[in-house]
Structure 1
Amino acid sequence: MHIVDHEPANKRLLIRDNGNAAAVMTYVISSPELYIIDHTLVENAYRGQGLGDMLLKAMVEYARENGIKIIPLCPFAKGRFERISEYADVLHK
């Protein structure tokens, strides 16, 4: 089972497997209420397992809990925001 670790000091969410990074999502803080997802990477050996979606879901939940809106700049996050209407509440208009 994969667990998402949020590392606010490093502005990233990370999934590890046996201590190695399997997937990472990074963001930039534009303001206390606005975060920009700028990069999502899933290592080749872990592709197709839904790790990118796990990272994004954790970011959306964090945004909801903290009153943050998100600008999804990276192609992965942008595509998911376009397809998953449940995330619209945290999308910066």
Structure 2
Amino acid sequence: MNKIVRDENLFWVGESKENPSGFIKFRPTEDNPEVLIAASTVVKPELRGQGMAEKLLNELTSYARENNFKIKAQCSYVVRKFNEDNSYDDVNVDAGKDIQDPGICEIL
């Protein structure tokens, strides 16, 4: 089992933070530190098809719930998951809206 580790504004899995096999990167918004931007989700080919991106997103949403944060979806994967799955509505700052994919994804 791949252990997911939190380090600052990143949940990652793999041998090291410097060379992760997968990660979800987030940061607080400038105007509201209680809202986190899900900036990018990346999973290397060897972990694809194993639900790793969803596991990383679930770590981020658990962290948000435990700390009373909301999440603003910016990366394409989180936009899609938030639009398709209402179980994230409690942390989705745009719950009830059809979130448009801004076409922005940061690369680590």
**TM-score under structure 2 length normalisation:** 0.78
**Percent of matched pairs sharing the same residue:** 28
Deviation, structure 1 residue 32: 2.6
Spell out, residue by residue over 1:50-73, the C-alpha distance to the aligned partner (whole angstroms, 9 max, x if none): 110000000000000001000011
More strand by share: 1
Paired position in structure 2 for 1:6: 6
Spell out, residue by residue over 1:16-48, the C-alpha distance to the aligned partner (whole angstroms, 9 max, x if none): 1x4552101111211331100110000012111
2:93 matches 1:76: no
What SS class does the counterpart of residue 88 from structure 2 fall into? helix
C-alpha distance in 2 between matches for 1:56 and 1:45: 18
Paired position in structure 1 for 2:46: 45
Give the count of matched residue pairs.
90
Letter in 2 for 1:15: V
**TM-score under structure 1 length normalisation:** 0.89
Q: Which runs of 4+ in 1 moved over 4 A?
A: none
Tell me, which stretches of 5 or more residues in structure 1 are unaligned? Answer: none
What SS class does the counterpart of residue 90 from structure 1 fall into? coil
Letter in 2 for 1:41: V
Tell me, which stretches of 5 or more residues in structure 2 are unaligned? Answer: 95-108
Which of structures 1 and 2 has the bigger CA Rg?
2
More helix by share: 1
